[in-house]
């Protein structure tokens, strides 16, 4: 298996658009801070949240199914069990290359299934922290 740090570098090199599942409009929440950071690094952020119209200046979608534009990576800030639903939505698309479960979110079954589908999959890591590690090298 490819070294996870090498995989993470490849993911960020190939990713342009990130759908963030559970992106809170609250600027104090981790999901907001991570999205804001990734946006500042040039990534297109697509918020997925049930109750807002715009977050960080971007149109908000109720689910991954509602997004018509290309999505390279899906970054999940929801409970581990919700990852099953996210993976089902990813299966209906042909553009998503990476499933990322944020720090503290662990679902080995979903990660293994994502790998079986040919996706890059990361769990229990923060995308912003990992990006910063790459910048420091």
On the question of pLDDT at 1 being above 50, the answer is: no
pLDDT for position 132: 94
Establish how many alpha carbons lie within 13 A of residue 116's alpha carbon, considering only the half-sphere containing its beta carbon. Answer: 8
CATH code for residues 4-71+80-136: 3.40.50.720
Mean of the per-residue pLDDT values of the chain:
95
Q: Tell whether the model's pLDDT for residue 83 goes beyond 80.
A: yes
Backbone angles phi, psi at 40, to 5 degrees: -65, -20
Domains of the chain by residue range:
4-71+80-136
Mean pLDDT of 66-76: 98
Residues 50-68, mean pLDDT to the nearest whole number:
97
For 15-36, the pLDDT digits (tens) are 999 999 999 999 999 999 999 9
């Amino acid at each position: 298996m490819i070294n996870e740090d090498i995989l993470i570098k490849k993911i960020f090199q190939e990713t342009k658009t990130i759908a963030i599942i559970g992106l809170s409009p609250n600027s104090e929440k981790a999901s907001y801070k991570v999205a804001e950071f990734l946006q500042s690094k040039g990534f297109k952020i697509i918020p997925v949240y049930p109750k807002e119209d715009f977050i960080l200046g971007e149109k908000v979608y109720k689910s991954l199914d509602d997004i018509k534009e290309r999505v390279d990576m899906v970054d999940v800030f929801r409970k581990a069990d919700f990852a099953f639903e996210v993976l089902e939505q990813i299966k209906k698309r042909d553009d998503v290359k990476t499933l990322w479960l944020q720090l503290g979110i662990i679902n080995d079954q979903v990660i293994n299934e994502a790998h079986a589908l040919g996706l890059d999959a990361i769990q229990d890591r923060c995308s912003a922290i990992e990006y910063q590690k790459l910048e420091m090298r």
